[in-house]
């Protein structure tokens, strides 16, 4: 938790800081939004209006509230973690746990897995080579590494993917909050799942005890990171949107995602706390209730794909 810089802003809300520009609509469902408050971005130090949708209750920032070069932002973020890119692939207990969870849900080994936003392929590589493993990745450098690791990687926007078959498992971890056009992306994601298959998403959730508690005591929830994070989806939005596509919710769980560590800077103790949190995340029944803010949701597509509504 970053303290001083995370306190909520004290500057008053301006009556109409958008000036003559059009009021934004909900990124998720395109309905009317209301302004909740101003949030100071930890990325660029500027204030962004946080909006809540009147209809689906999702929250969003307007990516264009300030002039921003998103490509440059992502380049600099990639640069900051560049040293981790070339590390040899290593199995992790985190991804092994996720793969085991999905396998149990499906009841067998899947034939095919597609990971939207696969980065360097770490998740996909936890599936055996006998599974058809396909990644979609926008970052050239990440896509190249994933390709060198033996994965089939499409370096492009998911929406532009021209692929005629569908996948038994489609996953999307920590991508949906970043999108400037989430509706098109979500539609494509749902479309890639084959009948009877599973769609797994990871999103930050403000409908959790941690996010609510931070806000109650006047701190910025750390997932409010405009213009990097633009969309915070409500549970009803995700469930309803996917139900209209023919999906039903199979499981939902919540973890700290390894980000909750008040002892993070203390040698040894920080590491011990991280290990303890991992055990809580992986094994305790706490993950069944919305306490921590990393929300994993798993949906199964019925045997009949529904026609998309005009939402």
Residue ranges binding Zn ion (CB under 5 A): 26, 28-29, 31, 53, 55-56, 58
Peptide bond connecting 227 to the previous residue in cis, omega within 30 degrees of 0: yes
**In the 3-class helix/strand/coil scheme, how is 123-153 assigned residue by residue?**
CHHHCCCCCEEEEECCCHHHHHHHHHCCCEE
Question: How many CB atoms within 10 Å of residue 243?
Answer: 15
Q: What is the smallest separation between the CB atom of 33 and Zn ion, expressed in angstroms?
A: 7
Q: What is the smallest separation between the CB atom of 24 and Zn ion, expressed in angstroms?
A: 11
The contacts of residue 238 (CB under 8 Å, 6+ apart) are 201, 203, 297
Nearer to Zn ion, 56 or 211 (CB): 56
Q: What is the secondary structure of 8-39 as a DSSP string?
A: PP-SPPPTTTTTTSPPPB-TTT--BEEEEEEE
What is the crossing angle of helices 93-106 and 269-283, to 10°?
0
Find, among 124, 131, 242, 125, the residue nearest to 176 by Cα: 242
Nearer to Zn ion, 127 or 241 (CB): 241
Return phi, psi of residue 307, to 5°.
-75, 140
Nearer to Zn ion, 259 or 311 (CB): 311
Q: What is the smallest separation between the CB atom of 273 and Zn ion, expressed in angstroms?
A: 37
Task: Look at the alpha carbons of 158, 122, 71, 11 in this order and tell me if their dihedral is positive or negative.
Answer: positive
Find, among 127, 141, 138, 119, the residue nearest to 202 by Cα: 119
Nearer to Zn ion, 58 or 256 (CB): 58
Beta strands 193-204; 294-301: pairing state: antiparallel
Residues 113 and 168 sit within 8 Å (Cβ to Cβ) = yes
Nearer to Zn ion, 102 or 232 (CB): 232
Nearer to Zn ion, 48 or 292 (CB): 48
Nearer to Zn ion, 56 or 295 (CB): 56
Nearer to Zn ion, 53 or 113 (CB): 53
Find, among 18, 52, 10, 16, the residue nearest to 35 by Cα: 52
């Amino acid at each position: 938790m970053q303290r001083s810089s995370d306190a909520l802003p004290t500057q008053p809300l301006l009556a109409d800081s958008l000036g003559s520009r059009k009021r934004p609509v909900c990124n998720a469902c395109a309905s009317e939004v209301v302004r909740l408050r101003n949030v100071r971005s930890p990325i660029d130090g500027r204030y962004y209006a946080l909006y809540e949708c009147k209809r689906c209750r999702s929250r969003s920032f307007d990516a264009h509230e300030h002039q921003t070069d998103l490509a440059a932002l992502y380049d600099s973020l990639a640069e900051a973690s560049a040293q981790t890119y070339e590390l040899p692939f290593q199995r992790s207990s985190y991804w092994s746990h996720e793969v085991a969870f999905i396998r149990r849900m499906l009841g067998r080994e899947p034939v095919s897995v597609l990971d939207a936003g696969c980065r360097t392929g770490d998740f996909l590589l936890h599936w055996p080579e006998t599974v058809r493993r396909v990644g979609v990745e926008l970052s050239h450098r990440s896509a190249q590494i994933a390709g060198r690791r033996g994965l089939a990687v499409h370096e492009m926007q998911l929406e532009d993917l021209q692929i005629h078959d569908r996948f038994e498992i489609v996953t999307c971890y920590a991508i949906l909050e970043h999108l400037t056009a989430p509706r098109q992306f979500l539609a494509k994601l749902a479309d890639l799942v084959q009948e009877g298959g599973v769609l797994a998403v990871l999103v930050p959730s403000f409908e959790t005890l941690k996010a609510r508690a931070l806000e109650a005591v006047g701190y910025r929830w750390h997932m409010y990171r405009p213009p990097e994070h633009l969309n915070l989806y409500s549970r009803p939005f995700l469930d309803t949107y996917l139900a209209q596509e023919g999906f039903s919710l199979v499981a939902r769980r919540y973890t700290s995602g390894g980000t909750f560590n008040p002892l993070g800077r203390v040698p040894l103790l920080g590491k011990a706390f991280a290990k303890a949190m991992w055990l809580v995340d992986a094994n305790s029944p706490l993950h069944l209730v919305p306490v921590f803010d990393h929300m994993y949701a798993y949906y199964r597509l019925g045997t009949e794909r529904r026609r998309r509504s005009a939402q």
